[in-house]
Structure formats: structure tokens, C-alpha cells
Chain A
Amino acid sequence: MGRAVAIIGMGQTKHGRRYDVTYPDLVREGVQAAFEDASLTPADIDGVVFGTMPSMMEGVAMTHFYFADALRAVGKPMMKTETCGTTGMSLAITGYYWVASGLADIVLVVGSEKMHEGDSQATMSTVLEPFYLRPFLAGAPGVFSMLAQSWMERYDIPEDKGREAAGKISVDHHKDAFDNPYAHIKKDLSMEDVTNGKVITYPYRLWDICPNSDGTCAVIFASEEKAKKLCARPAWVKGVGFCGDEYWYGDSDKVAWECAIDTAKQAYKQAGITNPLKELDVAEVYNPFTYVELIHYECFGFCEPGKAAEATLKGTFSRGGELPCDPSGGVLCTNPIGATALVRVAEAAMQVAGKAGDHQIDGAKTALAHGLGGVSQFNGMMILGSSL
């Protein structure tokens, strides 16, 4: 697996509607926050990894050029990676590989997005090729709604039960976000607010869907030697997984979703996890949509296939439950796409390092971070632990 690697610092911007600053300044805000958290300076960094949604999102191509100053990357080696929603996870894994390989000791990893500057769904639709898919899929909500329908029909889950479970996820997470100073949308919703909300792409209603957010997340990865010297409580990388499907949506089954299941298998194997429900203390599951979170609970082995609605309604995945999921409020409350999966990594690291403040899960030792991307095509995962 290469050398041992840990996360020794993380920073986030106040995510939301950030017309107050230009995009490079927003990137710099996240980067400065990470340096402050780690008590490091740009001079300490050996290399920089950067990524974002397809550049068309903000109308400036190849944004790693644009942000060279803000990333303090001038004069340093830099790598760029973009994998749509899994970007943040690809970034984290790239940073991890760089240090694990022994070719760098300290790497700065940054993801960002400024979604208010573009039309997110119009841009997202360019991920679809124009010969066949583009006229039919109404952006991300359109794609992921079909997963929800398939899942309920596959396991004979009554519409009402699926609706209620998804509703609980929305109510819980929007409330959890009040304890996260960086979160974008914080709301005290009732179940009726969610289940009677405006239909966007049936069965998804307004509160089943993540917001467009502006934000940056920066994470610093370090070798074992540096981590032990520079950081009181490093978050150790215990396992990673990454996997993708064929391009065309109709080519694979998205319910017993093979690439999600295989991603988890890879990460669990490296981390030595055989019973995720018991061995994980907290999971930051990538959840831009409520129903998709339910599907992932099953794919990651948190419950039996077809049983996610039941387990959710029992409270298994709520803050006080057996495996708290997304205590930060998750993607459902905050989604600056290029940063979002990296935010999951940062949040997982914060949990095992005891730095999650008001949304800390007490005694968390092992945390899962997950990313999801493309026209539901990619899954990525990183497992962090408080001890080597």
C-alpha cells in the first residue's frame, strides 16, 4: 500500500452564495484556512493537487492556471484532476498516492466551485454526449431520480415508506447543519415540508435535492515522519477505493450498484473492515439527494439490500444512532461540487482528530468518506482512522 500517510490540516470556506469575492479569492480563503489549521506555510508544501467541476461551470477553462497564485503553487509541481462529483475524492486519493509513493512529504490538496457564477444544470448537461443522452436527462436531479424509482420497485418498497425514509434524511440533515459553521443551508423542516415540497424531477421534491454552493476545501496530506512531528492528532489514511461504470446510463444496474459495492470492498479490504456497521464510528456519505443516500447504505453493507428505509426510520443512521451518517449535514446542505467530496474527507478527518466541534461524534476512531460522480458513473471512498 505504500508509506503510511495522514491528514494533518484542513480548511473550508464559509460555503454558500459568495458573490462578495472573486473566484481566486474564494480559493485562497480555503487554502489559508488549511495553513492556519496545520500551522504550516506555503514553503512547507512539496506539491499541489487541484480540481473542480468541468471548467465550463464558471466559464473559465483550466482553472488550475487561474488559481496558481491563490494556491501558492507558483514554482511547485501541480496535478489537476476532474471527475465531476467524485472530484474531491480523486483529489484526496491523488494527494495520498503522491505522499504514499515517497515522492513528496507534504502535499496540499484543494477543491473548489463557484456555482452561482454559472448555470449548474445547463453545464452539467454537457457531461452527456449530444448524439443520444443530452436531450433526455434534466441535469443531475433527472439522473438520480431514476435510481430512486428503480430501487423502490426492485425491493417492493411502498412509495410511502421510501418517501418517509427520504423525508427523515432531509429533516435530520438540514437540522444537523446548524451545528456546522461552514454549512450552506440550515433549516428546521417538518416532514410535511419535505413530502409536500414542489416536484422537481419526480420522485424528488425541493428538499430532497442539494443546493448550488460556492466554496473551497483544502486538505494537507503528510508522510508518517512529518505527521508525527507536525501534528498532535493526525487522521491516518487506512484504505481507499475507486471504481466506475460504463458511460451509458442504461448499460449497468444502478440499484445493486456494482461500482459502489466494489469501491467499498476495495476500501474495507485495505482498512481491514469486515463489519462496517460495527467498525465504523461515523460515515460521511456523498448525498446530494436523499434517496441516493439510502441506496448507498445498502451498497456499503450498512444494512441488508432493500432494508435501508427500515433502518433509517429506526434511527440507525441518525446522530444518536449506531452509525451516524453525515453529521455535518452532508452534501444535501452544502454542495460546491469540486470541493464537496473533499469536504467529506475533511469532515471524516475532523471526526477522528476530535476537531468537529459541535457536530463531533464522541470517541470517533474510524470514519468513512465517500464521493459520487458523473451521470451516476463513479464512486470513490477513503477510510480514516485515529491510529496507525
Chain B
Amino acid sequence: MGKHFSTFRHDVWLPYKFAVGQVFKAFYDGLKEEKILGNQCQSCGKIFVPPRSFCPDCNVDMGDYTEVSQEGEIVTWTLAKEAFFGSPLDPPFITALIRLDGVSCDLLHLVGGFDLSDVTGVRQRIKKNRRVRAVWNDEKQGHLLDIKYFEPL
């Protein structure tokens, strides 16, 4: 390692206003009512959650929402134990890809509702049952985290 001269601390702090669009708005409104909405491509028949404005495979416009099941199966998961500057979530937490019943793609969300402190325990729990069900927060913000996590059955 070369000679270490001093360092210069500098933060970049920027404000944003993201356009939500009609499709995400509908999805968020559904979450407030404890509904998980998706939509179906009229060309290939695939069902997407969150719903899309156009089918990523067929490129056709999509609208018309459909309520999907709140139960599904863990496809893959990871246990996060370290935070980073400005992390929205506090570790430990489990991020997982979940295939909700009847849906054609995986939803990225959290798995929880049990002791996360020890990874061996976590692996055993998930190995025992990969089927999960959404557990909702009492207070809704119209946000994907209105679902607190998906809990193994």
C-alpha cells in the first residue's frame, strides 16, 4: 500500500420527485386494501406482479388489473446481516424471490416472522417449509412494505 495522504470527506445530497405513473399507483392503492394486484398480457397470457404498463416479452400495452393470491413459494433467499449508509431496512432481514400462486414472475420481498439471529436456524426453518403467506402491517402507506413480510406457513 502506498503512502497515505489525507482524505477529503464529501457528501452528495440530491432531491428527487419520481413520477409514479398510473400502473404503480393502482398497485400501491391495492396494497392499502391488503390486495396484491397484477395484470395479464393478452398476447402471451403471462401474469406479472407488480403489474406492468407493457409486456416485457411481447411489447404490447397492458392494463386491467387482477388480484393475485397472497400465498406462494420461496424461489431463493438471502439473509442480510450488514447495514450500509442509509439502508432503508435494519439487519438482520431476509430478502427473497417469491413465486406467488398463479403468477408468471417472482416478487422480490422479505421473509420473516421468526428468529433471524442465527443462520443455521433460518436455513432449517425455510428448508422445512418454503410456502409463505403475506403478513400485513396495520398502518398502510400505499407501499410494498405495507406487507411486513411473507411468513413461512
Separation in Å of the B47 CB from the closest CB of chain A? 16
Binary contact track B1-36/A, C-beta < 8 Å → 1, others 0: 000000010101011111111011000000000000
Contact present for B14 and A20 (CB under 8 Å): no
In the complex, the chain B residue whose C-beta lies closest to that of A35 is: B59
Instruction: Verify B14–A123 contact, CB threshold 8 A.
Output: yes
A23 to B16 CA separation, bound complex (whole angstroms): 13
Tell whether A72 is near chain B: CB-to-CB under 8 Å.
yes
Instruction: Flag A31-51 by CB within 8 Å of B: 1 or 0 each.
Output: 000000000001000000000
Closest-CB distance, B115 to chain A (whole angstroms): 35
Residues of B close to A58: CB separation below 8 A = 16, 18
Q: Mark B109-142, 1 if CB is under 8 A from A, else 0.
A: 0000000000000000000000000000000000
A114 is an interface residue with CB less than 8 A from chain B: yes
Complex interface: chain B residues within 8 A of A133 (CB):
none
**Contact (A28, B14) CB under 8 Å given A22-B21, A23-B19, A114-B19:** no
Contacts of A42 in B (CB 8 A): 59
Of the four ranges (under 10, 10 to 19, 20 to 34, 35 or more), the interface on chain B belongs to 10 to 19
- A21 on the B face (CB < 8 A): yes
Q: Contacting B8 at CB < 8 Å: which of A69, A114, A122, A131?
A: A131
CB–CB B14/A122 < 8 A: yes
Interface of B is mostly: strand
Number of A-B contacts (CB under 8 A): 56
* Interface size of A in residues (CB-CB distance below 8 Å): 27
User: Do B21 and A25 touch (CB < 8 A)?
Assistant: yes
Q: For the complex, is B53 an interface residue (Cβ under 8 Å from A)?
A: yes
> Is A158 close to B, CB under 8 A?
no
Residue A82 interfacial (CB < 8 Å): no
Interface 1/0s, chain A 306-329, versus B by CB < 8 A?
000000000000000000000000
Q: Are B12 and A126 in contact (CB-based, < 8 A)?
A: yes
Task: Indicate whether A74 sits within 8 Å of B54 (C-beta atoms), given known contacts A21-B19, A123-B14, A130-B8.
Answer: no
- Chain B residues near A279: list those with CB within 8 A: none
Q: Does A116 contact B (CB under 8 A)?
A: yes
Q: Does A202 contact B (CB under 8 A)?
A: no
Report B19-71 residues with CB < 8 Å from chain A CB: 19-21, 23-24, 53-54, 56, 59
A117 interface hit (Cβ, 8 Å)? yes
Assuming the A-B contacts A42-B59, A74-B56, A131-B8, are A119 and B19 also in contact, with contact meaning beta carbons closer than 8 angstroms in the complex?
no
With A69-B56, A130-B8, A131-B8: A19-B14 Cβ-Cβ less than 8 Å: no
Ordered nearest first, which 7 A-B pairs have the shortest CB separation?
A22-B21, A69-B56, A59-B16, A130-B10, A19-B19, A119-B15, A25-B53
21 A-B residue pairs with Cβ-Cβ distance under 8 Å, sorted by A, are A18-B19, A19-B19, A20-B19, A20-B21, A21-B53, A22-B18, A22-B24, A28-B54, A59-B14, A59-B18, A69-B56, A114-B19, A117-B18, A118-B15, A118-B16, A119-B16, A122-B14, A122-B15, A126-B14, A130-B10, A131-B8
A: residues with CB less than 8 A from B are: 18-25, 28, 42, 56, 58-59, 69-70, 72, 74, 114, 116-119, 122-123, 126, 130-131
